[in-house]
Structure 1
Amino acid sequence: MDLRKNTAARENVIHLARTPEEKSPETVSDNSFSSDKTETVKNLSGVSEAWVADHAKHVTRMLPGGMFVQGIFVTTDEDVFEDPNCFSKLRAILNYTYKLLNTNPYMFGNCLEISERLILHMSTSTKVLTCKSVEVGPVKSTVLKPVDWKFLPKAQQWQRLDCYFEFDDVYPVIVKKSGISVKQQFQQILESAHKTIETSVMFIDGELKNGSEALENLNKKKKPKTNVKPTQQDVLKSMQVSLFVPFENSLPETVEYLECDGSIHFSGVVSSSVFMYPKATVSEAITAVKQDIVRSLASRFTMHCDALIDDNLLPEEKVCFNEPPRRVLVPVGSLYLCDYLFPGEAPAEALLSVRELLDLQITEAEVVCDLETPADTSEFDALDRDSSSEEMLATPQEASQFMYITGICFAMLVLVISIIVHYYDSIVGVIGKLLSKSN
């Protein structure tokens, strides 16, 4: 698996991740690549397109914004570019992967806009590396383009940008004849969050920057003019990013009054850490940060839905508290990728993902776990204590482990308050006219 960072000047390959050996059918699981029983692949024709594509899907969840799975690498004796059967198989793998990633654009971002994918081949006999690109997707071209592949003599320097984006929104839950689908409700939240983030304005270190300016120039402007030679630490100093949503964009186009059966209070802070090539522009950094936040939400929603036993969103007349998987960082060379831990999981769980999906060995101490803290349940606990009936609180099995879900009474309260606020001016005007007539 070829992980690549796109820049205007060149494309940087971050890591080559070996795809795990395919599990035997009786041990296949949607949630983990780990298995004691594997099937050894003896030649390229025995490689499963679905298995490689699923590996790409899981790896993409671990990538910060601006980074994508952009190809495959293979080691064989034969020349895969000259052998029609080998090349046909590799193209089938890339096309299958492209179609799978295309099912969730919120997670996979604008990588789908680029139809070229890389094939890197190393001959086991000559040890020669050959890299070429090929068109995938609906494009029918089979023309191979040579790609110049070079290894850097030293570790690449990356500009890190950190951001914390807070969500605090209430969404209606409407019961249809077919019931309430968790995936549909989460998809609506994701679409709304995507629109909000896309309309936001990004400030770097508290300032609005020119989109065409290079990130390395921003660092040079901040440094005082001295004779001291800049160190690597100075170059890689993190930039703090803030996203502000214009007020007019935070209001709905039309005001609708819905008869709701409940509501979802979606609240929390998403941490974002992206790594950019110093020559990347501010516009590229803005795209990467926004994409990272949306990808993180899409990843958590997908992981949550995959772990669900029951797709029913809201137990009748219950109040549920659900906590999402939190984000942690794992080192890969001079930058960080990420993983997600469900409540109660230890950093050691991230080591399993890194070993299975990225083919890397790291220690538990290297996992950065303090980006996001566990949810504050004090308000929810108070609701539990004040409740006169134990039936008001859903059991952990009924909770869907993701977010606040309030009952019908709270939805009606929100609706009543909205109506009062909306018609307040009209009511005051009528009362004023009546008083003037009586005088």
Structure 2
Amino acid sequence: MPTTISISKIDVAYLEKCADHGLTYGIIICQKTEPENFQVVHLAKNCEEENEPLQGIISIEDISTQALATQWISACKMCPGSFNVQGVFIASVRKDIDNDQMDVAVRKMLYDLLNLLLQGNNFCVSIDEGNTPILFLAYSTVSKRAVCKAYIHNTSGGTFESVKYNYLDKPNQWHAFECLYDLDDIFPIFDDTQKINIENQFQHAIYATKRKLSGCEIFIENTCVDDSLSVEVFVAGNRKRASNENFKATVFLAVKRHHNNEKSVKVRKFNGTIRFLGIISSRIWCNNKNSLGDAKRFIRNDILRSLAARVQVYCDGLTDPHVSNDAIFISEPPRRVFFSIFVDGAMNPIQFSEYIFRGEAPTVAVAQAKQILDLDISTENIVADLEGLPDDEIISDISLSHLPKTSSQAIFNSPKYLTRSMYILSIAVSLLVLLLSVWLHYLLN
């Protein structure tokens, strides 16, 4: 079955606007449904470091694959699990947007781009499934014509496949699903070298989390729902809830059982641990044509991507990924904030997200939304109360003597713990009550 892409009138208007600068390029964010059907969710032109539109681009050869790769990786962290960065678009004032010469240039550009994305430990990019083919969309403001192709990456330079595209008369109706995922996992480090590559160890931990999530069951509105049921039918049966709040999802993880067999349990020596601790706030969006199976898959993707995004931010701050095998690290990762977007003055029901550290103002998310997604938002559009900050005493009260060597601990929106002062106060109150009861006993006798 051929690949199909759906594009709205709003997207066409954006392409018209982008082409005012000659040749403009950027990324395509889509929602993928089975089989190879893609719904364009957002188009974002590529901007320079100072937020100014790229000028002077006249051909495909002038496109910076490094700038595209940077934008692609950053946008992956900002997309909810129901959406993927799926391709590249160009908007041009030229008529000839489809010829053999351009075909060769586009293939080389996408080949170089994919090679850049596959290099290094780009956690959010590497965990995304089904991200092939890569879409390429070219639009001419002169001929008012669009050309779309699907690029299949391989070591010999890649190939193109035909794509059928259609225009949507009206935007999709979106429905939000959300859940809180309680994360408390410890992963062993078996590397016994003097200098351990912590990025590789994080990669192993993320893949282990991915396998764990793949075997989970997800209830929606506290009900085990049929995966084949369409979102439209489900919403119709829950209309009261759909009108004023998001649908709630709950993740139930499978419990591994060991039989009374000594061979079923393995004991291995390890040299350290990585611990993920806290609560991840997950939120995804589905349209009426999605199934509840799609919704569950999107939630799994979102949880994993949110975890990978925070690990990516942590690793980007490392001056050297190699750490000694007797080191102990405790890190407070950034918290997740969502922001609403506006299209033609009206609020779009979907949201994207960003990650900010303690002490950072929401204006950081505003700047990132503009630079990466070409979105003009204000601090009022940011939903920053879904994930709270952990107490300051959490880190100071952790006993390092109980942590194994070479452990890196990531604390994600941890629940409140009793502080040392609260323990002392409770003990003092208990002693006071005890002394008072003894005194009353002797006094009454």
**TM-score, length of structure 1 as denominator length:** 0.74
State the SS of the aligned residue for 2:105: helix
Q: Which runs of 5+ in 1 are unaligned?
A: 22-32, 225-232, 393-398, 405-439
- Code of the aligned partner of 1:194: K
Q: Which residue of 1 aligns with 2:45?
A: 18
User: What's the offset of the Cα at 1:259?
Assistant: 5.0
Query: 2:189–2:270: 8 Å Cα contact kept in structure 1?
Result: no
The change in CA–CA distance for 1:52 and 1:80 in structure 2 (over 3 A counts) is: farther
Query: 2:74–2:372: 8 Å Cα contact kept in structure 1?
Result: yes
Cα distance in 2, alignment partners of residues 189 and 160 from structure 1: 29
Q: Which residue of 1 aligns with 2:266?
A: 255
Q: Which residue of 2 aligns with 1:24?
A: none
The change in CA–CA distance for 1:219 and 1:37 in structure 2 (over 3 A counts) is: closer
Deviations 1:299-350 (A, max 9, x none): 22122111112334468475x4310121111223320011111232111001
User: What's the offset of the Cα at 1:165?
Assistant: 0.8
1:98-113 to 2 correspondences below 5 Å: 98-102=114-118, 107-108=124-125, 113=130
Deviations 1:59-108 (A, max 9, x none): 11111113112222212233454333322222223333344445669624
Q: Does 1:354 align with 2:340?
A: no
The change in CA–CA distance for 1:173 and 1:44 in structure 2 (over 3 A counts) is: closer
State the SS of the aligned residue for 1:97: helix
RMSD over aligned Cα, in angstroms?
3.5
1:295 counterpart (305, 311, 320): 305
1:397-416 to 2 correspondences below 5 Å: 402-403=410-411
Deviations 1:23-60 (A, max 9, x none): xxxxxxxxxx4578977434332112232222212111
Q: Which residue of 1 aligns with 2:63?
A: 47
- Code of the aligned partner of 2:39: N
Q: Which moved more, 1:212-221 or 1:248-257?
A: 248-257
Q: Which residue of 2 aligns with 1:68?
A: 84
Q: Which residue of 2 aligns with 1:432?
A: none
State the SS of the aligned residue for 2:196: coil
State the SS of the aligned residue for 1:370: coil
Cα distance in 2, alignment partners of residues 54 and 250 from structure 1: 45
- Give the fraction of aligned pairs with identical amino acids, expressed as a percent: 23
The change in CA–CA distance for 1:352 and 1:87 in structure 2 (over 3 A counts) is: same
Q: Which residue of 1 aligns with 2:334?
A: 325
1:338 counterpart (320, 331, 353): 353
Query: 2:97–2:139: 8 Å Cα contact kept in structure 1?
Result: no
- Code of the aligned partner of 1:308: L
Query: 2:152–2:160: 8 Å Cα contact kept in structure 1?
Result: no
Q: Which moved more, 1:143-152 or 1:189-198?
A: 143-152
Number of residues of Structure 1 aligned to a counterpart in Structure 2: 371
Q: Which residue of 1 aligns with 2:283?
A: 273
User: What's the offset of the Cα at 1:151?
Assistant: 4.3
Q: Which runs of 5+ in 2 are unaligned?
A: 1-26, 342-347, 413-445
Give the structure with the larger strand fraction: 2
1:5 counterpart (23, 31, 36): 31
Deviations 1:223-258 (A, max 9, x none): 47xxxxxxxx94574111111112227999633242
State the SS of the aligned residue for 1:248: coil
1:243 counterpart (251, 265, 269): 251
The change in CA–CA distance for 1:316 and 1:42 in structure 2 (over 3 A counts) is: same
1:216 counterpart (232, 235, 257): 232
The change in CA–CA distance for 1:90 and 1:249 in structure 2 (over 3 A counts) is: farther
**TM-score, length of structure 2 as denominator length:** 0.73
The change in CA–CA distance for 1:220 and 1:35 in structure 2 (over 3 A counts) is: closer
Cα distance in 2, alignment partners of residues 301 and 71 from structure 1: 24
- Code of the aligned partner of 1:241: A
